[in-house]
């Protein structure tokens, strides 16, 4: 959980608690019902905003290959470290790999087979 979400949840629960206290105290003074209702609604709104996911949607790419393809291991051209599948980045149709060891970025290009 992010710190912002934790703060919103704690503030929401606190406002709902105070709202319930004011609603129970409205038996002695009826003007407190407005304050209690306002605090409870504000608490529920904070909980609603805390429950919303703010993360970016994940992009999924499906690559269909025309024939059988042999998987080859890739090495960084700069340092020779092994490149993992998680290091492959596709941006604007360009396939790049970022070495997790030295941080260099290389573009992947496919050479013709003839």
3-state SS, 54-69, equals: CCCCCCCCCCCCCCCC
Q: How many CB atoms lie within 10 A of CB 101?
A: 13
| pLDDT computed for residue 34 by the predictor | 92
| pLDDT computed for residue 40 by the predictor | 95
Q: Flag whether pLDDT at 65 surpasses 70.
A: no
Residues 6+ apart with CB under 8 A from 77: 104, 106
| pLDDT computed for residue 63 by the predictor | 72
Q: Where are the domains of the chain?
A: 3-51, 74-107
Structure pTM?
0.47
- 28-49 per-position pLDDT tens digit: 888 899 999 999 999 999 999 8
Q: Residue 25 is inside which H or E element, if any?
A: helix 3-25
Which tokens is 56 given?
A: 């970016």
């Amino acid at each position: 959980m992010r710190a912002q979400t934790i703060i919103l949840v704690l503030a929401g629960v606190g406002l709902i608690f105070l709202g319930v206290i004011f609603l129970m105290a409205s038996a002695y003074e009826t003007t407190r019902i407005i304050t209690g209702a306002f605090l409870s609604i504000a608490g529920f709104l904070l909980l609603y905003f805390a429950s919303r996911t703010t993360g970016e949607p994940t992009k999924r790419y499906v690559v269909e290959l025309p024939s059988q393809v042999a998987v080859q291991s890739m090495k960084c051209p700069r340092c020779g470290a092994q490149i993992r599948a998680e290091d492959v980045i596709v941006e604007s149709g360009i396939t790049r790999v970022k070495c997790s060891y030295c941080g260099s970025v290389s573009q992947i290009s496919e050479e013709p087979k003839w």
